[in-house]
Amino acid sequence: MLLSLLAVLALILLAASLLKKFKLGGQLHSDLKVITSMHIGTKERLVVVEVAGKQLLLGVTANNISILQELAEPLASQQNLPVDIAASLSKLLKK
């Protein structure tokens, strides 16, 4: 019985970590939207977010988040842009 309980707890923890990793837990903040993100290092990236109708360029590191600039012209959402999977895969394979 104890072994079954431990197995169920392990499955719950595994499912929670997968949901967190792949962001499948649903959107918690509808007022905050990530427009695009670009990695510039192993733990550093640039992120454009939309908050209250404004788009902000953020610098994100492991220890800090800084507002770099408020964008004068809004960027198109990354989710609305068409993705050519074949071209993306061939570009990755050439590296």
Average the pLDDT over each of 1-5, 18-22, 23-27, 70-74 and give the range with the smallest value. Answer: 23-27
pLDDT of residue 85: 63
The pLDDT tens digits of the residues spanning 19-35 come to 777 765 555 556 788 88
Q: The pTM is what? A: 0.52
Confidence of residue 8 (pLDDT cuts 50, 70, 90): very high
CA dihedral 70, 75, 79, 81 (to 10 degrees): -160
| pLDDT for 64 beyond 90 | yes
CA-based nearest residue to 68, from 47, 91, 43: 47
Q: List the domain boundaries for the chain.
A: 2-94
